[in-house]
Structure 1
Amino acid sequence: MLLVGLPRFLIDAWSWLNYKPVMAASYDGRPHRALAPQVQSTWLPDEAVRRLAAYKVLAAYDSNQAGELAVVAGNEEASERREFGDPAALVDTTLAHLLGKTQQVVVPGAEHAKDEQATPEAVAAARAQERLRQWAESELLALRMQACERKAVLLGDGVYLLAWDPAKGRVRLKTYDPGLYFPVLEDDADPGDYPSRVHLAWEIPEDPRRGIKAKVRRITYELGPVEPAHVSPAMVGQPEPETAGASGPVLAADEFYDEVTGMVHRAYPWAPDRPSAQTCYLTDAEWDLDSLRYGQQLDDLPLDKAVFRTRSDGAVLDRLDLRIDFLPLVHITNTVADGEHFGMSALAKVMQVLDELAETDTDSARASATTGAPIIGLAGSHAEVDRLTGRPKPLAVAPGTVFQLADGGRMDVLDTSNQLAELRARVEEVRDRAAVNARIPAVSLGTVDPSDVPSGYALQLSLGPLDSLVDAMRLARAHKYSLLLKMVQRIHQAGRAHGWPEGECFPARLVFGPHTPTDCTAVLDDVVKGVGAGVLSLETGIRMLLDVGYPIEDARQEVERITSRRSHDKQWSPAS
């Protein structure tokens, strides 16, 4: 209930930014228009306005433009704000710990492919793992993860898009800014459910010199029933269409018409024995902003005014059948879904601390100016008079300057060094508070001298909050990356790619490397003692060395080398 004369108390996924005047400029919580004029476009869904404004604020903090943003919103004093990159340092540190030193695609069961009695399932899993690793290397998965995950850590969300490239014969992986991502969510749907319709949309600015009007482009992926009218396969290598009967619909060889339900079913390569009546359609179109009426939002733009794009092979992207039964997009959230579809930024809980840190840095900069060039008061000195204006000229203080003072004259210097020292101590205090609340210990930020750490156990205890943070962030992503790798396999199958057989896809997952420094020498010493005493197997010892970063390519081959050398040394020992 909204009482007259009282502001509304708004709580949503971005209410942690309500203290910003630019985020709550009106009673309904809509952001200040000066924040980003494009967010006021009529085609945007109402529920997306605050999300895009929050992205803009977070991006400003990341690029040291928070003061500039405040000036645009009307706060002229913010132009003197000092910003030294502390938000970006927190984001980069969190990202580094999240990803770890390495990222490896793993298919469970592939490690048993080289056993003496390896099962066909283990051999097939090893082949699938090798195919996925080759794809990840060709598609520069590690670099694309850096780009997408940094957006996820900073903004709370990241988006991957998978698309089949017939020229390269593999799946291409693209990353999109989450500000272009607009899922169509049902009112009663679970936030963790996968949407059945997703838009990627943005505005194309006007260019009068080239005669280009302002446009809005919308790329739509949506699930729908298989339609027999789509007889032109979207994937290279698909079976040629054939007619089901003299008067029946035109169907492909892997489709059949169910007269009971009146629907077309299709057998997909990953489930040949479980036909599906659903497929994914792609639409890529543009609209002139002038042709849109007020109130026509993104999901209901008039198709009669759309200009559809065409693919490189000439296919019109108007509900083009992609011949897959899923949306080839993966939405990455920085936090575990808790009633919200979107994630939360790593800076969300420390935004006000970062503001306090910037204000303290600003005060410190002002104090350092008066300390380096102190204010001097002279008594008993006559200043030189400007002949043109008749006013005294300002005194300039430089090394070697001599002032002649009358009897009883004196010179006083304003000393602000004590205040500067207090401000510097305050900076460290606020920075420590930001590190604690962000769960990024000072030792991981590199602000602690290693000699100040009393013991390795104390260091491990100090990294406890960071461990829980990384575990939660990786938990939020575990299912999404498994889903992405499953999509990679299925799109390769749909494209009839060489070496990707039909059948059920193997469950694959992305394994992140250790996120904290490890004492490799201590681990090696433990392995030597444990294996030598018989309390650890050689295989377990090799895996422990792998986990801390020793350059071992294959654990089983390493075990075989060690075993063969031991037997060789016994045969040629002096005792024999």
Structure 2
Amino acid sequence: MGLRQFIIDAWGWLNYKPVYADPTTGDPNRRAFPGAFATWVPEEDTRRLAAYTVLAAYDGGQAGELAEVRDGADARERREYGDPAAFIDAITSDVLGDEQRIVVDGTEQDDTTTEDDEARAVQEDLLTWAEDEQFAMRMQQAERKAVGLGDAVYRLSWEPDKRRPVVRVVDPGFYFPVLSDDGEFPVRVHFAWELPADPRRGLKDRLRRITYELGPIRPATVTRTTDRGRAMRTFAGDQDDPLLVPGDTADEQGTIWRQYAWNDEPSAVTCYLTDATWLLEDLERHSDVDNLPMNKAAYARRGDGELLDGLDLLIDFVPVLHLPNSVPGAEEHWGKASLAAVLQVLDELAASDTDAARASATTGIPILSVSGLQDGRASLQVEPGVVFKLADGGRMDVVNTAPQLAQLLTTVETLRDRAAVNLRLPAVALGTHDPAQMPSGYALKISLGPLDKLVAAMRLARRHKYQLLLRFVQRLYIAGQHPDWVGRKVHSANLVFGAYTPTDRMGVLEEVATAYAARLISLETALRMLAEGGWPIEDVAVEIDRIQARAFDQAAALADATGDAQAVRDYLGMKPADPEKVPVPVLPGPADPNAPQTDAGQQR
């Protein structure tokens, strides 16, 4: 008898499920996860894809259907009342907060330098891009996948027709990165999925793969059609003397260099895009997603007719962003789903719900034991209004299952609370506890402590990723030669998440007002604290301009301290004075005979 393999990896928390880890081999069930065992899927991705399927089944209330593959038809009778989906929605909302703001470094400073003006312009353009691209909705899509599956993926591209970068959320099950040695940034990324057959259109089962790959810069290429009508990418110009992309230079060793607008030094690397489709029947058994027969591929075309076969995107980065739900382990790439630690509790909860549903049937329609019927029937159909005629000595007994049902419901609540505790979701955060029953606001704050630590850790895993995404957006604007971005540099930008717990606005206001009046914090810090405390401040820099435009007392103090009229106008947000307009002198009026006279006899 073979021994079960003891597997410890990023998805080891699923080994307890027989459908996921076979008792002898440790491999997922092939009938339950056929997509994970496709011939083109690398062996190291099998457990990851199967884990995504299990987590999606819990989220959709279909864990029983998945268990039916191994446990039989009885597994479909389990009750699933949406607790996993409720937990995922709650955690997603807490991580995102009540709002998300894009803040560019330098926009909240009380300065009027050219660099700060450019930072403010960049922030306004990023906010406009986020609104046009519906980035808030994209974030909801990505964050829910990250919380529910452990990973999410953004894919960015420059859209010439829209004149802006486009961001899309991709299911992590389609994401196959080829990681570099440090395991953090991939040098090649594949998005691959199967396309089902379409008999009406005469299409067979196919595999589509979109690939982004970093590589050495090559000479310029164009799309040409061969004599047989096949499109292919070839070098522009003569084969012996190919042309370079305008702006590229080649050194004596033949290395081609390119000066990107966001780099200080030239780079010899660019990103290539390939979009190809294969018939599944043409794939060889030893081929995986990273090693497919390119001679049997059919390449897609871009909107402008360019063949997507190693198309140079004129950027030196892969415009793909992997978003882990948690901080990955050392030298790891994948995140961990929020439900990973409580799946066994959710199984027990589903079992208790199933037992409670069965017990409620016997409580609503009780079991009767009747003896001594006059008609001598062996069984009865109990219905409202039925009268039983009993002979002498006859009796009727009722089996009361209400106590068992009450105990089962108590067990259900206990398991739900246990899952919430392990998820670090307090009852007050789930809305199942009345905050008014808290003895004080401090007690409420203490009860939210586990949630604070959970959200802080999850936002830490996301902070650098969203900084990178906003940097990619700026680079794509510059690479696309958008008129508003010509000559600009890439600025550091952050995505700031809002509050996720109820806040005492008046308490925050009192705290901020006291600290600002005592000159312990700046106006920028004060407004930022108010915004984080729930006050409706959309843009700190704009709010500062509005405040200063009416702060005449502070402007007068600035004039007395510096004597600089232009500094006062800048402080109030006024335009510079027109030097061509000379102030008109005001001459004194006629002397007043009743005015007091000085010793010199002059009117005061």
TM-score normalized with structure 1 length: 0.89
| CA distance in 2 between partners of 1:246 and 1:435 (Å) | 66
Is this contact kept in 1: 2:435–2:444, CA < 8 A? Answer: no
Cα drift, residue 39 of structure 1: 2.0
Match of 2:207 in 1: 216
Structure 2 residue 515 is matched with structure 1 residue 522: no
Q: Cα 1:299–1:242, aligned 2, differ >3 Å: closer, same or farther? A: closer
- Match of 1:434, as an amino acid? A
More moved, 463-472 vs 556-565: 556-565
Q: How many residues align?
A: 541
The residue matched to 2:370 in structure 1 has which SS?
strand
Is this contact kept in 2: 1:531–1:538, CA < 8 A? Answer: yes
Match of 2:472 among 487, 493, 518: 487
Match of 2:396 in 1: 411
Match of 1:172 in 2: 166
Residues 417-442 of structure 1, C-alpha deviations (whole Å, 9 max, x = no match): 11111111111111111011011111
The residue matched to 2:105 in structure 1 has which SS?
coil
Match of 1:38 in 2: 35
Q: Cα 1:383–1:172, aligned 2, differ >3 Å: closer, same or farther? A: farther
Cα drift, residue 450 of structure 1: 1.9
Match of 2:551 among 552, 555, 563: 563
More moved, 120-129 vs 412-421: 120-129
Q: Cα 1:15–1:247, aligned 2, differ >3 Å: closer, same or farther? A: closer
| CA distance in 1 between partners of 2:146 and 2:60 (Å) | 16
Match of 1:253 among 246, 260, 264: 246
Match of 1:57 among 49, 54, 58: 54
Q: Cα 1:490–1:528, aligned 2, differ >3 Å: closer, same or farther? A: closer
Match of 2:218 in 1: 227
| CA distance in 2 between partners of 1:446 and 1:552 (Å) | 27
Match of 1:356 among 319, 323, 348: 348
Match of 2:192 among 178, 184, 201: 201
Match of 2:66 among 69, 88, 93: 69
Is this contact kept in 1: 2:4–2:26, CA < 8 A? Answer: no
Match of 2:578 in 1: none
Cα drift, residue 22 of structure 1: 1.1
Match of 2:486 among 501, 517, 524: 501
Structure 2 residue 86 is matched with structure 1 residue 86: no
Is this contact kept in 1: 2:103–2:123, CA < 8 A? Answer: yes
Q: Cα 1:28–1:281, aligned 2, differ >3 Å: closer, same or farther? A: farther
Match of 1:345 in 2: 337
Is this contact kept in 1: 2:49–2:173, CA < 8 A? Answer: yes
- Match of 1:39, as an amino acid? A
Match of 1:16 among 7, 13, 18: 13
Is this contact kept in 2: 1:81–1:358, CA < 8 A? Answer: yes
- Match of 1:45, as an amino acid? P
- Match of 1:555, as an amino acid? E
More moved, 558-567 vs 522-531: 558-567
The residue matched to 1:158 in structure 2 has which SS?
strand
Match of 2:274 in 1: 283
Match of 1:144 in 2: 138
| CA distance in 2 between partners of 1:311 and 1:298 (Å) | 22
Is this contact kept in 1: 2:220–2:236, CA < 8 A? Answer: no
Pairs within 5 Å for 1:147-546: 147-186=141-180, 189-191=181-183, 193-230=184-221, 248-259=241-252, 261-271=253-263, 273-338=264-329, 339-382=331-374, 394-502=379-487, 504-528=489-513, 530=515, 540-546=525-531
| CA distance in 2 between partners of 1:459 and 1:25 (Å) | 45
Cα drift, residue 411 of structure 1: 0.5
Is this contact kept in 2: 1:539–1:559, CA < 8 A? Answer: no
More moved, 22-31 vs 123-132: 22-31
| CA distance in 1 between partners of 2:554 and 2:489 (Å) | 42
Residues 91-123 of structure 1, C-alpha deviations (whole Å, 9 max, x = no match): 0000000000111111111112xx4x5222211
Cα drift, residue 562 of structure 1: 5.8
Unaligned runs of 5+ in 1: 233-240, 386-391, 569-576
Cα drift, residue 184 of structure 1: 1.3
Q: Cα 1:262–1:534, aligned 2, differ >3 Å: closer, same or farther? A: closer
Q: Cα 1:481–1:534, aligned 2, differ >3 Å: closer, same or farther? A: closer
Is this contact kept in 1: 2:2–2:24, CA < 8 A? Answer: no
| CA distance in 2 between partners of 1:182 and 1:536 (Å) | 48
Cα drift, residue 248 of structure 1: 4.7
Structure 2 residue 95 is matched with structure 1 residue 98: yes
- Match of 1:203, as an amino acid? E
Is this contact kept in 1: 2:276–2:298, CA < 8 A? Answer: yes
Aligned-residue CA RMSD (Å): 2.2
Higher relative contact order (CA 8 A, sep 6+): 1
| CA distance in 2 between partners of 1:566 and 1:367 (Å) | 74
Is this contact kept in 2: 1:68–1:79, CA < 8 A? Answer: yes
Cα drift, residue 366 of structure 1: 1.1
Residues 518-568 of structure 1, C-alpha deviations (whole Å, 9 max, x = no match): 111322343455556776665544333222222234331343256348999
Structure 2 residue 105 is matched with structure 1 residue 120: no
Residues 465-496 of structure 1, C-alpha deviations (whole Å, 9 max, x = no match): 11111111111011111111111111111110
Is this contact kept in 1: 2:249–2:257, CA < 8 A? Answer: yes
Match of 1:572 in 2: none
Is this contact kept in 2: 1:231–1:251, CA < 8 A? Answer: no
| CA distance in 2 between partners of 1:565 and 1:444 (Å) | 45
Cα drift, residue 380 of structure 1: 0.6
| CA distance in 2 between partners of 1:548 and 1:86 (Å) | 30
The residue matched to 1:44 in structure 2 has which SS?
coil
Cα drift, residue 446 of structure 1: 0.7
Is this contact kept in 1: 2:151–2:335, CA < 8 A? Answer: yes
| CA distance in 1 between partners of 2:119 and 2:241 (Å) | 42
Cα drift, residue 401 of structure 1: 1.8
- Match of 1:90, as an amino acid? F
| CA distance in 2 between partners of 1:6 and 1:159 (Å) | 37
Residues 47-105 of structure 1, C-alpha deviations (whole Å, 9 max, x = no match): 11111110001000001111111113333221210111000011000000000011111
| CA distance in 1 between partners of 2:30 and 2:527 (Å) | 59
Q: Cα 1:455–1:561, aligned 2, differ >3 Å: closer, same or farther? A: farther
Q: Cα 1:538–1:326, aligned 2, differ >3 Å: closer, same or farther? A: closer
| CA distance in 2 between partners of 1:461 and 1:510 (Å) | 27
Q: Cα 1:162–1:531, aligned 2, differ >3 Å: closer, same or farther? A: closer
| CA distance in 2 between partners of 1:198 and 1:303 (Å) | 16
The residue matched to 2:392 in structure 1 has which SS?
coil
- Match of 2:249, as an amino acid? F
| CA distance in 2 between partners of 1:142 and 1:126 (Å) | 21
Q: Cα 1:268–1:538, aligned 2, differ >3 Å: closer, same or farther? A: closer
Q: Cα 1:26–1:410, aligned 2, differ >3 Å: closer, same or farther? A: closer
